[in-house]
Amino acid sequence: MSSRSSQVHVESLRVSVYTIPTDQTESDGTLEWDKTTLVLVQTSAGGKQGIGYTYADSAMAKLIQEVLTGVVKELRPFRQPTFTRQWGDAFATLDDPAFVPWPSLPWIALSGI
């Protein structure tokens, strides 16, 4: 890895939400649904573009836009595992009770980013 790539920061995140109807009602034995929501994140860093996605409620898009964009812009995406450690640390310091019941939420969101 070049020293230049280790200094690259995320420049922007663009979040989109797509709701895709299923052919028929689906179930996992506890709930039924007739659509799937995909959260797509387009990232720009170091003059490069990337995408990530996750299947989650549209609330995940709001979380990414309103909370995570600021967190992500401080991180260096090409420095693994530093990025992963910084990601976890960033969530540990967020003082928001909304995250308390969802300890896996940062990692679900990361899959979208």
Question: Is pLDDT of 49 > 70?
Answer: yes
Q: Model confidence over 62-109: pLDDT tens digits?
A: 878 877 777 777 676 666 677 677 777 766 666 666 655 455 666 666
Q: CA 53, CA 48: separation in Å to the nearest integer?
A: 17
Cα 49–chain centre separation: 15
Q: Model confidence over 53-63: pLDDT tens digits?
A: 888 888 888 87
Q: Give the residue extent of every domain in the chain.
A: 9-112
Question: Is pLDDT of 110 > 70?
Answer: no
Q: 9-112: which CATH topology?
A: Enolase-like; domain 1 (3.30.390)
| φ, ψ for residue 18, nearest 5 deg | -125, 130
Residue 27 has a pLDDT of 93
Q: CA 35, CA 9: separation in Å to the nearest integer?
A: 35
Residue 39 in tokens: 């959260």
Residue 72 in tokens: 């992500």
Residue 34 has a pLDDT of 96
